[in-house]
């Protein structure tokens, strides 16, 4: 028999290997998807598009980029908890279009005020999530089938809601202000400061939690480097947007959603239950967690934030039409979450993956638009990005499972 002493078990309390290179190596090996490869990926993507078109990194285009990704980002925030459960929701693109359509029809055709029309659109998203979640949990239908049917059904419902007009132009000041307001410079710096504090508070809290539970932790030096790198991106983004029209309101909403749901996931019982159910639903039931309630709530959160994303998109585009929520939007949300570090297999990920992953996907889409790529090429590249991100996630899971044995 082989001498076990030659292969000692890893010490859970032993700090992880120090050094940026070691950290990157471990990330690429799948033990922990670090933020550094993702940030380096963003830098590489931006460098390529800047070389191809020198307007890419202009304040005007970067502000437009942030405007474009806010709606996608809000929807990605909703898809992250679903992925943490090990599930998929294929309907949120169609749900976003339908909820935006409900809002537009009530405001323009029925004469409802902007705030009430927006609330009605969000309420539709909540009800759709409750319906789909109940079908999945109580009747035991596969989430893939229920949400695939939803993707088709809610697209048809959008056509019925819009009627013969096809396109509804939005003129309500409140609705347009959701994505059409640009804040002065001092507001941008306040938001940047709050975001940076949230980043460091999250990292410190995570580290303390891992130490308390006897898990491997990141060195303080690497933690500081990571925080500084993220903070630099935040400061640069705000500086660029202040150099153009200012911080857009829909970006504030998006970042606010990321921070709020990050706190919910990491610092509330409900958030811990989501990770527990995603890690092992059977173990969660044995721990007296109401798994059915958690799953229904998570599917409702996904469609609610899909409604928010659809409304933000309608506000930015000044209209809702038959194509709202269609195209590659659905796949982009999943790709963004996975690229950001949330596993398709459940139990692993965080809310900041919605922000980082959305920037990656948005940058690729924006750069291709700037270079006037045809739709055929855009779809192919988006598909390749999705396959690569899922492949990395699958390889990471296999290596993680092998280490656990």
Whole-number Å distance between alpha carbons of 265 and 254: 16
Whole-number Å distance between alpha carbons of 257 and 74: 7
Distance of CA 191 to the CA centre of its chain: 19
- What phi-psi label fits residue 314: left (phi over 0), alpha (psi between -120 and 50 degrees) or beta? alpha
The pLDDT > 90 percentage for the chain reads 42
Closest C-alpha among 67, 94, 78, 59 to residue 313: 67
User: Residue 69's pLDDT is what?
Assistant: 92
Q: Mean pLDDT check: name the lowest of 15-29, 55-69, 84-98, 283-297.
A: 15-29
Q: What is the pLDDT of residues 114-128, one digit of tens each?
A: 999 999 999 999 999
pLDDT, average across residues 126-134:
96
Q: Which two tokens stand for residue 284?
A: 């969660």
Answer whether 249's CB lies under 8 Å from 188's CB.
no
User: Residue 126's pLDDT is what?
Assistant: 97
Q: Which two tokens stand for residue 288?
A: 């007296």
User: Residue 311's pLDDT is what?
Assistant: 96
Closest C-alpha among 25, 72, 151 to residue 337: 72
Q: Mean pLDDT check: name the lowest of 34-38, 120-124, 364-368, 384-388.
A: 34-38
DSSP percent split of the chain into helix, strand, coil, nearest 5: 75, 0, 25
pLDDT, average across residues 261-279:
91
Query: What residues have CB less than 8 Å from 313, skipping those under 6 apart?
Result: 71, 96, 100, 179, 324, 325
Whole-number Å distance between alpha carbons of 301 and 282: 23
Is the overall model pTM greater than 0.75, yes or no? Answer: yes
pLDDT, average across residues 69-84:
94
The pLDDT > 70 percentage for the chain reads 89
Q: What is the pLDDT of residues 225-260, one digit of tens each?
A: 878 877 887 888 889 888 888 889 999 999 899 989
Whole-number Å distance between alpha carbons of 51 and 61: 15
- Bridge partner list, 167: 321
User: Residue 156's pLDDT is what?
Assistant: 93
Q: What is the pLDDT of residues 4-56, one digit of tens each?
A: 443 444 444 444 445 445 544 554 343 344 466 777 788 888 899 999 988 89
CA distances from 235 to 35, 230, 246, 364 (A): 17, 9, 13, 21
């Amino acid at each position: 028999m082989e001498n076990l002493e030659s292969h000692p078990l890893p010490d859970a309390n032993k700090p992880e290997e120090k050094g940026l290179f070691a950290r990157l190596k471990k990330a690429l090996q799948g033990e922990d998807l670090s933020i550094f490869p993702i940030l380096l990926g963003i830098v590489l993507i931006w460098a390529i598009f800047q070389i191809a078109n020198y307007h890419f990194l202009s304040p005007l285009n970067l502000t437009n980029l942030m405007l474009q990704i806010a709606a996608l980002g809000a929807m990605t925030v909703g898809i992250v908890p679903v992925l943490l459960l090990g599930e998929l929701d294929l309907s949120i693109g169609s749900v976003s279009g339908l909820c935006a359509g409900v809002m537009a029809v009530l405001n323009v055709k029925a004469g409802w005020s902007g705030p009430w029309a927006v609330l009605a659109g969000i309420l539709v998203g909540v009800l759709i999530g409750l319906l789909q979640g109940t079908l999945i949990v109580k009747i035991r239908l596969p989430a893939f089938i229920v949400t695939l049917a939803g993707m088709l059904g809610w697209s048809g419902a959008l056509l019925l809601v819009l009627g013969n007009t096809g396109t509804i132009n939005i003129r309500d000041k409140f609705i347009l202000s959701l994505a059409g307001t640009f804040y002065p410079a001092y507001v941008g710096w306040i938001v940047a400061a709050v975001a940076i504090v949230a980043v460091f508070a999250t990292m410190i809290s995570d580290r303390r939690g891992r130490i308390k539970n006897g898990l491997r932790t990141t060195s303080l030096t690497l933690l500081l480097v990571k925080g500084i790198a993220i903070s630099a991106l935040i400061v640069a983004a705000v500086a660029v947007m202040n150099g153009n029209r200012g911080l857009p309101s829909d970006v504030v909403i998006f970042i606010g959603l990321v921070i709020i749901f990050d706190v919910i996931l990491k610092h509330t019982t409900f958030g811990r239950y989501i990770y527990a159910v995603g890690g092992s639903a059977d173990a969660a039931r044995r721990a007296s967690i109401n798994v059915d309630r958690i799953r229904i709530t998570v599917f409702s959160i996904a469609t609610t934030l899909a409604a928010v994303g659809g409304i933000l998109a309608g506000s930015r585009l000044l209209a809702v039409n038959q194509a709202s929520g269609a195209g590659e939007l659905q796949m982009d949300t999943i790709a963004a979450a996975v690229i950001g570090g949330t596993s398709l297999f459940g139990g692993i990920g965080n809310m900041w993956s919605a922000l980082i992953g959305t920037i990656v996907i948005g940058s690729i889409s924006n750069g291709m638009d700037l270079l006037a790529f045809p739709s055929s090429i855009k779809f192919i590249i988006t598909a390749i990005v999705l396959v690569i991100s899922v492949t990395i996630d699958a390889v990471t899971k296999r290596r993680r499972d092998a280490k656990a044995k």
